[in-house]
A and B are shown apart, each in its own frame.
Chain A
Amino acid sequence: MHIELRPLGVNCNIACQYCYQNPQRDAGNLTKNYSLPAMKQAVETENRAFFLFGGEPLLIPEEDLEDLWKWGLEKFGTNGIQTNGTLINDNHIRMFREYNVGIGISIDGPGQLNDVRWAGSLEKTRKLTQKTEKMILHLFDEGLSPGLIVTIHKNNASKEKLPVMHEWFRYLDKLGLKAVNIHILESDNKFIHDKYALSDIENIEALLSFARLEEELENINFDLFRDMEKLLIVDDKGVGCIWGACDPYTTISVRGVEGNGQRSNCGRSNKDGINFVKAEKVGHERNLALYHTPQEYGGCNGCRFFLTCKGQCPGTAMNNDWRNKSEYCSVWMNLFEEIEKRLVKKGITPISLAPNLKQLEEQMLYSWEQGLNPNLDTLVEMLPAFSANIKL
């Protein structure tokens, strides 16, 4: 678990149309300057390694980048960055190597498939996409292997576009790309959502197509499917934060530090355009409420995948209200069912079909009421009788 260090807040050089940070930009809550000492002090208090984050963190002057990464390497032995890749130059590459910087690049696909990551005009958008694509190749040539974040939508994962995406992943796989984090489009803007978001069925088809593709690839892991399987077989340490009963007032998996040292949360929780300070204590009222609320009203009552899903990410909640379950409930349920079937075929009883599922749920509810949030493997250890029932 890293810190997201955001010296320049949500300031960015491009304007991806679906960006979940647009509410904060629209509200004018932009960072005007930063303090290296204040940020370092906050990072030291948190006492963990940091990822440079934005907006676009490569807008930071190179001397300050070097100062931060040099310090980060001395303190923690590792650094990181999440970037749109459009501003990477040779000096950055030198720093990536010298300061052990893990590189994450956000790109939605080759050429026109990346058009929604808009840069002001079509010409400029295509030019910057080309630049990022070339930079990915260059990083591999330099022996640096980035990870990708890819958001899927109508412009890159419709039925017609999927074959292009598959070819692109095959190509990147041959280069040695290992990690791809797939996100379903999440936008607070209804117009953007209607224009670009895939339907539930389209999302399911796209994700299943990537799951099938993964089987033929040598290097690429689409974290999503691995995590969902790990949840079902109760081996969930290190799975993505979207499955972790995230509390939107503290977003424990995202420890944000702003340019002035203020602690903040994952930007997906900033629906009103305000970057709230992290709450002092964690609460799991969302998950407790979802457990009891009928599905027809936006809750999870009666769902056998509740312990694995927990209502999923509050940043993707229905009607932009974190008290609801994820608007993509149907997608996740379908995928869990698919993986569940595969596990059963292999003779494995997933937690969703455990005979004492109800008991496990009650144990989890009790833990949440205590302010705890155990992994499923820890939860199961609390109930030894369960272990006797699983066949692994």
Chain B
Amino acid sequence: MPDYAIKRLNFRLKDFTRSVWVSNQAGEVWYPRINQVLKYLREIELYSIAEGIRKCTIKLIDSEDISNIVTKFASYGLQVDLLKEVISNNINPSEEQPLKYWAVIGTDENNQVFKSAYQNGEQDTMSLLQGSPECCTNFFHKMGIEEKFFDMTWPMAVNTKEEEIQQNTIGVEPIFQCNTLLKSLGIKPVFHSPCSFNCPGTIELADKLNTLGEKIGYKKEINWLSEILSWPVEWSALHGIAEIKTPILKISTNTDATAVKYTVRFMGTLYPEETVTGLVFPYLQPDRLLISGSKSYKKGLLNNSPEEKNNFG
């Protein structure tokens, strides 16, 4: 069985995320859809608090936007309370950036509870208030705080208790409600870090969010979100860089620095129309290898030319 105890190196790269598309066409179709999904997620994050599914949430906000945000959230019946000013860990600190603050958003009562927990360093209370199931909260406490994992993907996969496909590679069944492999793009089914890829509490919460989302008119976005989260995905970590491959784009982002490669495969079977063929998971693989599977290529490999004298000129 795979182990939580992975070989980690003693450095962490500054935050970054980049992505590349498999084709222009894939980008043209999915870039606008992903943007709409992200807009939906921003809305449902707040609605879920207004509707009582979650008690509060924390957000990073620009100082310039504070008054707008306060007004906006008041319309949901929510309050904004600032927690602390943030120093950017952005990889390009030379870019001009406004001051940022972590803020808690919720009802006045819940915000006060959160602020108290924040001031006392009660991570578990803060997680529970944000809607994290108890199992996920406990797991994050163990792996995120005690074991200091920055990226919970590998511990989640180990905790899913599947057998390894090969050394340091775990395959997990495709339960989209627990798929957080695309969180670096902002695409996620829930707003907490699940304890596994099959956590019942997370599935229940994701379903509640989707039901609420449909109720407030986001059926299309929910369908796209569910579709994206159902694609096959491979996440791998090596030397502090996670590469996440989906059928239409791949992502490079920072993760825990590992000495060797660790891989998690989300064994989705749904492919978008814009997918292309590739040679390995998660791509659709060709039935045969066009060149290296051909007779003439194989003939070339068997070729052993006799020694000959070469004349020039």
Contact = CB atoms under 8 A, between A and B. Distances in A.
B128 interface: no
Q: Which of A125, A273, A299 has the most CB of B within 10 A?
A: A273
Interface string A303-328: 00000000000000001010110000
Nearest to A288: B13
Interface string A273-301: 11011111101011011101110011100
Nearest to B238: A323
Nearest 8 pairs of A and B residues by beta carbon = A118-B300, A26-B289, A289-B239, A292-B11, A297-B259, A273-B279, A25-B291, A272-B278
A111 B238 contact: no
Interface in A167-206: 167-168, 171, 189, 191-192, 195
The majority secondary structure among interface residues of chain B is: loop
B18 A281 contact: yes
B308 A15 contact: no
A285 B260 contact: no
Contacts of B308: 111-112
B24 interface: yes
B86 interface: no
Given A272-B283, A293-B239, A297-B239, A195 B291 contact: no
A27 interface: yes
B240 A15 contact: no
B23 A262 contact: yes
Interface stretch (B34-42, B135-143, B170-178, B250-258): B250-258
Nearest to A22: B291
Interface residues of A, number: 60
Contact of A283 (B18, B93, B279): B18
15 contacts: A15-B300, A17-B297, A22-B291, A26-B286, A112-B310, A120-B296, A125-B300, A273-B283, A279-B20, A283-B18, A292-B257, A293-B259, A294-B9, A299-B239, A369-B91
Q: Which of B243, B254, B305 has the most CB of A within 10 A?
A: B305
Given A171-B313, A370-B92, A278 B291 contact: no
Nearest to A188: B279
B277 A15 contact: no
Contact of B252 (A118, A278, A285, A293): A285
Nearest to A292: B11
B237 to A, nearest CB: 9
Nearest to A196: B301
A167 B312 contact: yes
Contact of B292 (A26, A321, A371): A26
A209 interface: no
A29 B277 contact: yes
Q: Which of B11, B24, B279, B301 has the most CB of A within 10 A?
A: B279
Contact of A277 (B9, B21, B238): B21
Given A15-B294, A272-B283, 8 more contacts: A27-B279, A27-B290, A28-B277, A110-B312, A118-B300, A120-B296, A277-B20, A299-B239
A113 B241 CA distance: 41
B13 A249 contact: no
Contacts of A118: 296-297, 300, 303
A122 B305 contact: yes
A321 B301 contact: no
